[in-house]
Structure 1
Amino acid sequence: MKRFGIGKVPAASATALLAALALCGIAGCATAPPSAAVRQTDDTRITAGVKTALLGDASLKANEIDVDTDQGVVRLSGFVSSADDVAAAAAAARTVRGVRSVRNELRLK
């Protein structure tokens, strides 16, 4: 039956159309582009690496140093005992693979 110049859609075509729409819907549901997910994983790995490097330096009280990473840029914050500790923490952070730069915001006690 034709109504307004439109005929019936064959069942196979309707099924194919529904499948295509479903795939488009699923693709649109992604929460983050892959590059953002990879970047987040890298930042998490870098943060863990910097914390490990800080713990490896016996002169530092690593538990008093906060580490945050965003797109490979490491930010160190918190309190340390000396200017040498400020420099040592930054040097330890720079040894970690993937660190692009270090923002050293450590303060003396």
Structure 2
Amino acid sequence: MNITKRVATAIFTATVAFTIVGCSSSPTKESTGEYVDDSVITAKVKASIFNEPTLKSTEINVETYKGDVQLSGFVAQPEDAKKAADLARGVKGVTSVKNDIRVK
């Protein structure tokens, strides 16, 4: 019985350790919480762009990684690219914005 308890405790401890390590982030991998946070930021940035009548939200792509937002796509005027970046910077949780939007 004593050996069974030790084996069960060892398995439980290993499972907890692997779970903690598996959910932590690294420079190249997001944790589960960071992924969810980035999804929320992406949705908020897309909503801000969608609600701006001067921008065509279907032509602007938004990606987020650890709070860093990357905008890409095409707009008609240089001011539109700047406006999209300004809207992204205004979203809570955004740490930086890389604006790769091109004028067509």
**1:15 Cα deviation after fit:** 2.0
Q: Which residue of 1 aligns with 2:58?
A: 63
Q: Percent identity?
A: 36
Q: Which residue of 2 aligns with 1:4?
A: none
Find the residue that maps to 2:31 and give its secondary structure.
helix
CA RMSD of aligned residues (A): 1.6
Residue 32 of structure 1 aligns with an amino acid whose one-letter code is C
1:84 & 1:91 partners in 2: Cα distance?
10
Please, which runs of 5 or more residues in structure 2 have no aligned partner?
Answer: none
Residue 83 of structure 1 aligns with an amino acid whose one-letter code is P
State the TM-score, normalized to the length of structure 2. 0.86
1:38 & 1:28 partners in 2: Cα distance?
18
**1:25 Cα deviation after fit:** 3.2
**1:28 Cα deviation after fit:** 4.1
1:89 & 1:79 partners in 2: Cα distance?
11
Residue 23 of structure 1 aligns with an amino acid whose one-letter code is F
Q: Highest CA radius of gyration, 1 or 2?
A: 1
State the TM-score, normalized to the length of structure 1. 0.82
Count of aligned positions: 98
2:36 & 2:94 partners in 1: Cα distance?
13
Find the residue that maps to 1:91 and give its secondary structure.
helix
State which of 10, 21, 27 in structure 1 corresponds to 2:16. Answer: 27
Find the residue that maps to 2:101 and give its secondary structure.
strand
State which of 88, 91, 107 in structure 1 corresponds to 2:83. Answer: 88
1:70 & 1:22 partners in 2: Cα distance?
34
2:44 & 2:3 partners in 1: Cα distance?
53
